[in-house]
Amino acid sequence: TTFLSPLPRNLFTVNSPNVVYTESEINTKYTYRTTLVNEVADGKFEAVPKETVYDFKVERKVPKTGMMLVGWGGNNGTTVTAGIIANRRGLTWDTREGPRAANYYGSVVMGSTMKLGTNAKTAKDVNIPFHDVLPMVHPNDLAIGGWDISGMNLAAAMDRAAVLEPTLKARVKKEMVEMVPLPSIYYPDFIAANQEDRADNLIQGSKASLAHVDQIRQDIRDFKAKHGLDKVIVQWTANTERFAELIPGINDTADNLMKAIEDGHEEVAPSTVFAVASILENAPFINGSPQNTFVPGAIELAEKHNAFIGGDDFKSGQTKMKSALVDFLISAGIKLTSIASYNHLGNNDGKNLSSHKQFRSKEISKSNVVDDMVEANSVLYKKGEHPDHTVVIKYMPAVGDNKRALDEYYAEIFMGGHQTISLFNVCEDSLLASPLIIDLVLIAEMMTRIQWKAHAIDGATTKEFGNFHSVLSILSYMLKAPLTPPGTPVVNALAKQRGALTNIFRACVGLEPESDMTLEHKLF
């Protein structure tokens, strides 16, 4: 078997007194420029430019990394696995539209580029693959494993998912038949009752326990040892759970949450047990579903252990469109007055979401995605004013994984006129979600190798090197309801999320934020 996993290419170096390369690190002194605003009298403001100097340290050695998926035997789990195997082997396969070759389309890291700068001779933009900005893991190199309450091997589960072409499935089948999910924890009340018939691969016990945490920790350690890995990233791509009730004394602090698990409290969700186990193993944990896995106690636990977490809910088709379109409309000065979003889909996710409590988790994460854009525009919206927004999801088995998303955006334009935008978006759900799963793993892993320290204004170092905050809000671009460090704002606008990701990566190699001013083309 030929494995196609190019080594990091070190495609560029930064020639600056602020950037020093050693064999093991990239060390950068970076000046972060922001604007502080003081409210002065009568609703007026004073804006004060502010500079903070940071040192960033990037570990250059790319670690051997594993990805463990909770819900590995589902549509996303099987699709992303087959996709990585196909890429690793450079597979091509026939379709009725002709031959197709493996690719990573839909992955920001593997499929997009970033402007490095302007060619010194031709003045043209020089764009490089995003994957080359920092020394990142290549997805072809990921060891893949995980858990599922359904014990079907991955080849059979891939057939059950009905996502990929038969010709492609035939080429990855032999490898996938050998992949069998580890038994998982199943607390029936958290997912729809209609999922019960697939629950045949279970760790004993139907509510949270320390034994469950220990078993999952052991699974992570075993996987690491079996594949000789330096790091493991765990990701929840299992069914959407209902929200857990937030109960003081139970899940409000790290200690209370641990005690609640020990006591087998019924309000601790399986996803939270996985999060806790991953945090204790120092394996970054990402929640790809909408439920409130990260109860306050889980966030505090991550902070205490300096472990990374990210969530919630993959942002693949309809919501990605929404967070781009609403960003455009409102920043164009157009007053969006309502959004009606309908979905129908026929995969197992749709079946699970046909149950009200699980639908409610999804409704919440799909509904809050325009809040920041509305709140930021006090010209169009009075304080507290909001566009109407409705989200409907229906289970329609016939369309399978090819979710239909119908959206109507209704807006008020110049002089009382109206603009109505209707979208019909066929979201091949798992094919859109799989590259996000990859991006989340690669970026989360990268963040484990970046450290920072701040300087005082006089240049004296104030702190030892430390990690970014445990809650990786840098992952927001891939997520519908981005989790942010407690007390910090949520950004939903897609362009801002992309800007944060790009510019943090640039800062780590001592480059200024991407600027579209192009004064070099305007002032001469």
**Which residues carry out catalysis?**
313, 362, 403, 480
Our finding on whether 345 is near ligand DG6 (CB under 6 A) is yes
Our finding on whether 435 is near ligand NAI (CB under 6 A) is no
C-alpha triplet 360, 361, 366: angle, nearest 5°: 95
Tokens 């699709």, residue? 79
Closest CB 242 distance from ligand NAI, rounded Å = 12
Applying CB under 6 A, among 313, 327, 407, 439 the residue interacting with ligand NAI is 313
Q: Rounded to an integer, what distance in angstroms lies between the CA atom of residue 7 and that of residue 62?
A: 9
Residue type, 353: L
Q: Where are the alpha helices (DSSP H) in 69-165?
A: 75-88, 108-111, 154-161
Q: Rounded to an integer, what distance in angstroms lies between the CA atom of residue 322 and that of residue 106?
A: 17
Binds 147: which of ligand DG6, ligand NAI, none (CB < 5-8 Å by kind):
ligand NAI
Applying CB under 6 A, among 272, 316, 497, 502 the residue interacting with ligand NAI is 316
**Pairing verdict, β 65-70 and 143-147:** parallel
Quick note: the x/- pattern for ligand DG6 over 305-334, rule CB under 6 A, is ----------xxxxxx--------------
Q: Note whether 145 and 176 are within 8 A (CB).
A: no
Applying CB under 6 A, among 107, 287, 343, 358 the residue interacting with ligand DG6 is 343
Interacting positions 66-105 with ligand NAI (CB under 6 A): 70-71, 73-77
Applying CB under 6 A, among 66, 139, 151, 288 the residue interacting with ligand NAI is 288
Our finding on whether 240 is near ligand NAI (CB under 6 A) is yes
Size of the site for ligand DG6 (CB under 6 A): 18
- Give the count of beta carbons closer than 10 Å to the beta carbon of residue 424: 8
Binds 366: which of ligand NAI, ligand DG6, none (CB < 5-8 Å by kind):
ligand DG6
Name the nearest CA neighbour of 136 among 443, 473, 478: 443
Interacting positions 146-165 with ligand NAI (CB under 6 A): 147-150
Applying CB under 6 A, among 300, 327, 349, 372 the residue interacting with ligand DG6 is 349
Q: Rounded to an integer, what distance in angstroms lies between the CA atom of residue 231 and that of residue 142?
A: 10
Q: Rounded to an integer, what distance in angstroms lies between the CA atom of residue 80 and that of residue 144?
A: 10
Quick note: the x/- pattern for ligand DG6 over 401-420, rule CB under 6 A, is --x-x---------------
Binds 345: which of ligand NAI, ligand DG6, none (CB < 5-8 Å by kind):
ligand DG6
Q: Note whether 486 and 512 are within 8 A (CB).
A: no
Applying CB under 6 A, among 380, 427, 440, 472 the residue interacting with ligand DG6 is 427
Q: Rounded to an integer, what distance in angstroms lies between the CA atom of residue 200 and that of residue 183?
A: 8
Distances (CA, A) of 191 to 42, 60, 135, 240, 259: 53, 41, 39, 7, 23
Name the nearest CA neighbour of 207 among 256, 258, 262: 262
Q: Rounded to an integer, what distance in angstroms lies between the CA atom of residue 140 and that of residue 367?
A: 35
Our finding on whether 473 is near ligand NAI (CB under 6 A) is no
Binds 395: which of ligand DG6, ligand NAI, none (CB < 5-8 Å by kind):
none
Binds 343: which of ligand DG6, ligand NAI, none (CB < 5-8 Å by kind):
ligand DG6
With CB atoms as reference, the residue minimizing the distance to ligand NAI is 74
Task: Determine which helix (DSSP H) or strand (DSSP E) holds 116, and give its type and residue range.
Answer: strand 113-118
Name the one range near ligand NAI by CB under 6 A: 232-240, 412-420, 441-449, 496-504: 232-240
Closest CB 422 distance from ligand NAI, rounded Å = 22
Binds 430: which of ligand DG6, ligand NAI, none (CB < 5-8 Å by kind):
ligand NAI
Our finding on whether 215 is near ligand NAI (CB under 6 A) is no
Strand order across the 335-345 sheet? 388-395, 335-345, 402-412, 418-428
Q: Rounded to an integer, what distance in angstroms lies between the CA atom of residue 524 and that of residue 11?
A: 31
Which residues bind to ligand DG6, rule: CB under 6 A? 315-320, 343, 345, 349, 353, 362, 366, 393, 403, 405, 427, 429, 480
Which residues bind to ligand NAI, rule: CB under 6 A? 70-71, 73-77, 147-150, 184-186, 191, 198, 237-240, 270, 288-289, 313-314, 316, 347-349, 352, 429-430, 432-433
